[in-house]
Amino acid sequence: MTWATAALLGYLIGSAPTANLLGRWRGVDLRSQGSGNPGTANAFRTAGAGLAILVLTVEAAKGLAAVWAGESLAGVPGALAAGLAAVAGNVYNVWYRFQGGKGLGISLGVLAGLWPLVLLPVVVVIALGAAITKSSGAASLLAIVSLVAMALLWAGNGWPTGGIEPTFALVQLAAGIALIISWKHWRDSPLSSHARR
């Protein structure tokens, strides 16, 4: 099996419309209520913490499952390809005419599988960013920038990752996530004229 097969499988896992299905199970249509985004933040806005935690858990589990599946098919290249493809599947979802979520929850699952030692710092940045800026978009952008910076720092020093090796692959991972999800988070940040106020 090649990394391309792993990427296809990762995309299919990432594009599974689980957030919307969970919302409908709880009587909420995340695609038509709130911001219209089928993700954790909109689940919190429209139905509260219970649904938000459930959506985040399932999205992260999809990212982790994609990494494991990719690694079983094609080793480290397969894990990396499947993880990034899962994020792309979430953001550019074939079931929603390529208009999906924002990719943050599934990215956390991918990081848990490939680079678990960075997961806590990223979550801390998101939490602090949200508390300071009062914007989930701005907090996510801060986390994306921090992730790329930490990847360069880790790779430059050869620090242990708790997951993927060699450490240079962390730069590919962080840059790939940033390229896939940055636009939607920029659009919804206070820095963008398109932000939802």
197 vs 100, residue with greater confidence: 100
Query: What integer is the mean pLDDT of 4-26?
Result: 93
- Residue 20 CA to residue 11 CA, distance in Å, equals 17
- What's the mean per-residue pLDDT of the chain? 89
* 196 within some domain: no
User: pLDDT for 54-78, tens place per residue?
Assistant: 999 999 999 999 999 999 999 999 9
Is residue 40 within 8 A of residue 104, CB to CB? The reply is: yes
Backbone angles phi, psi at 162, to 5 degrees: 80, 0
Tell whether 193 is covered by a domain.
Answer: no
pLDDT level of residue 189 (50, 70, 90 thresholds): low
Is 60 exceeded by the pLDDT of residue 197? Answer: no
194 located within any domain: no
How many separate domains does the chain show?
1
Average pLDDT over residues 145-167: 89
- Domain limits for position 101: 3-187
In percent, how much of the chain has pLDDT > 90?
59
Q: What does the pLDDT read at residue 1?
A: 60
> Where residue 39 falls among pLDDT bands split at 50, 70, 90?
confident
pLDDT tens column, 79-133: 999 999 999 999 999 988 888 888 999 999 999 999 999 999 999 999 999 899 8
Reported as a pLDDT band with limits 50, 70 and 90, residue 188 is low
